[in-house]
Amino acid sequence: MAEYHLHAKTHSRGAGKGAGGHVRYILRQGPYAEKKVEQVDGSAMTKTRVSRADEVLHSESGNMPAWVQDPADYWDAADQYERANGSVYREIEFALPKELPDAVNILLAQDFAQRLATVPEGVTPYTLAIHHSEKDPSLLHCHLMLSDKVNDGIDRDATLWFKRAAASRTPTQKGKDKKPVDPARGGAPKTQARIGQDWLGAVVRPLWAELANQELAHAGYASIRIDHRSLEVQRQEAEQQAARLWEQGDHDAHRAALERVIALDRPPQPKRGRVLTHAGAEKAPDRAAMVLGYEEGSLQETEFKVR
């Protein structure tokens, strides 16, 4: 059954591998184009390097300025020219519904990315990559990188693009409007739509649930829905529904509602993280224990009898 799984982060200049390193990671390019695998031949074990190209089902970029020839050009320039401690990119990682065919999931991810990249001031550059899960190749997840810079159509080179936007000058005489400044003299403006509010909780999470549920319904899975709300909120709602059904005397529906209450009485699914996924449990023992505990708990059958 489809699960709601979405994580978001904001990355500042100088953090981690940088925007350029991360885009190569999600596109499986450069140092991330190959991986080492162990092969056993009798009593001998060898390590060989194999291509990771087949891990990427689909990738694309949009709303890029004219000077960008390759997606990495943009994100490398962001690392180089974005102001110190400035936000370089926002990352959203989300699971795609396994009930949907790959072609539909690609369109779904594209729609989600384009909607998030559209802001009141215009459109912002983005890069997305859809990956097959290493644990189960039939499962898909998407990495989305969003820039806060707005592509206003003005021709700027990379250096100017990442400078501060030109601001209107304050007039010398009181009572007069600010003097306009040619926006081409400054950098591309940054959207304000993703700050000063709960952008993740108020926009991103509910939008993904809405779009995914629409596609599930169109594909004939109207009974399967994902919910962006916390497990606690969902459980409280199920408890209230169970109480109403009991009062109405609908015992079969009441039992089903109680089973949903039990199913929701669990901790949130922990994120595996890149270290655990690629380096193994010995490199991330605490996270490995947390993930293992969650997975073992999910496999245990809970017996509940209504007397």
For the question of residue 74 being annotated catalytic, the response is: no
Indicate the angle between helix axes 205-218 and 102-117, nearest 10 degrees: 150
Neighbours of 155 (CB within 10 A): 10
Burial group, residue 115, by CB count within 10 angstroms (0-12, 13-18, 19+): middle
Query: What residue has token string 């194999």?
Result: 50
The catalytic residue among 25, 81, 89, 126 is 25
Backbone angles phi, psi at 7, to 5 degrees: -125, 145
Among all residues, which ones are annotated catalytic? Answer: 25
